[in-house]
Amino acid sequence: MTTYRIRFRARSSEPLPADVAGRLTQAVGDMPSAESLEVAYSDLEAGTVESAFVIDVATDKMVDAARDGSRLAKESLWSAGIDAKLIELSVIRSGS
């Protein structure tokens, strides 16, 4: 297994609710296949939210980590009830 840190940012075309960061923090924390790294952040004026988590990938391929990380980021947004599109995804392999 290889561990990857995934950081993502998403933008909504609709105004975001004031509690959006808390909802995303909870959604990321509830994902069984990922470990939440920090409290989510939101910029209500810009309509963006961001968060980060760690995942283990069976292969040592960054493309697999990017695919899985993107899917989990989208699922966490959906689970938090946030209608937003990913605009940034960072995939970093943990040193080992």
Q: How do residues 39-92 score in pLDDT, each as one tens digit?
A: 999 999 999 999 999 999 988 889 999 999 999 999 999 999 999 999 999 999
Q: What is the mean pLDDT of residues 17-28?
A: 95
Residue 95 confidence (pLDDT) above 80: no
Asked whether the predicted pLDDT for residue 96 surpasses 70, the reply is no
Beta carbons of 87 and 48 less than 8 angstroms apart: yes
**Token reading at 77:** 């947004």
- Residue 2: which pLDDT band, with cuts at 50, 70 and 90? very high
Q: How far from the centroid of its chain's Cα atoms is residue 24's Cα?
A: 8
Q: What is the pTM of this model?
A: 0.90
